[in-house]
Amino acid sequence: MVNSRIERQEVRRDNVRSHTPMRCPICGGELSNVHIRELGGLTADIMWLLHAGECREHGWFQAEFSADPPREIFPVKKPFGTARRVVVVGREYFEFPTAWGRAQLDQRHLQVTDPLDPRMWETDLAN
Ligand SMILES: [Zn+2]
């Protein structure tokens, strides 16, 4: 049996309607229904975060990151759900590398990066 009171508490914990620099990797559009979840970390001082959001046209996407921006954005079936395959102009994708993911290793070390810098979240297809 579904208890609506419990459901509402879970939603609040996930910070629904938070802001994310993530945009739809296919059309570049702003994502709605943004969910943010703290995943904790392997070590106490590193917090992993998961951002999920929905493009009305292209569905749900999410990305995981910690002190650095995410390296890729994944298409998913629902927030925090399993990955799905998307086909764009006849080509299939299971992930979309971000500008951060495409940057060379030495570039990453040279710059101090804000993990929420929108430029580092940009993907190839949408820009
Ligand atoms: Zn889209």
Q: What is the pLDDT of residues 8-67, one digit of tens each?
A: 434 445 666 678 999 999 999 999 999 999 887 666 677 889 999 999 999 999 999 988
Q: Is the pLDDT of residue 7 over 60?
A: no
At 24 the three-state DSSP class reads: coil
Nearest-angstrom CA–CA distance, 127 and 124: 6
Q: Give 92: exposed, middle or buried? Use CB within 10 Å, 0-12, 13-18, 19+.
A: exposed
Confidence of residue 4 (pLDDT cuts 50, 70, 90): very low
Nearest-angstrom CA–CA distance, 3 and 11: 13
Region of 36 on the Ramachandran plot (φ > 0 left; ψ -120 to 50 alpha; else beta): beta
- Residue 24 CA to ligand 1 centre (angstroms): 5
Average pLDDT over residues 93-113: 82
Average pLDDT over residues 94-102: 94
Res 76: pLDDT: 98
Residues near ion ligand 1 (CB < 5 Å) are: 24, 26-27, 29, 55, 57-58
